[in-house]
Amino acid sequence: MKLHNSDQYESINILLDKHKHPIAFENRVQSLVNSGLTRKEALDFVRTTAIELELYYDKDAGLFGMEAEAVESGTIYNPYSGELMEDAEEE
């Protein structure tokens, strides 16, 4: 599977809710605290800032989303197959 190129991708924005997504919400807060924010700053940020997820569809396994910032800055593996996702073909 290939990553999307910078001008052709599909995404959705997710706003984490403490009650609907308690595990993801708290993990995001803790990640921000570990990065230097106070807990109050981190809580305020998570409550008000959506996460952009790039959507991918593995034809053999299904849909998955990856944080857009992570796609731009890291090595990405398909969560179903474990295979390294190839770089996009930029035009």
Q: Which tens digit of pLDDT belongs to each residue from 1-52?
A: 888 887 788 999 999 999 999 999 999 999 999 999 999 999 999 999 999 9
pLDDT for res 88: 81
As beta bridge partners, residue 52 has: 13
Global confidence as pTM: 0.80
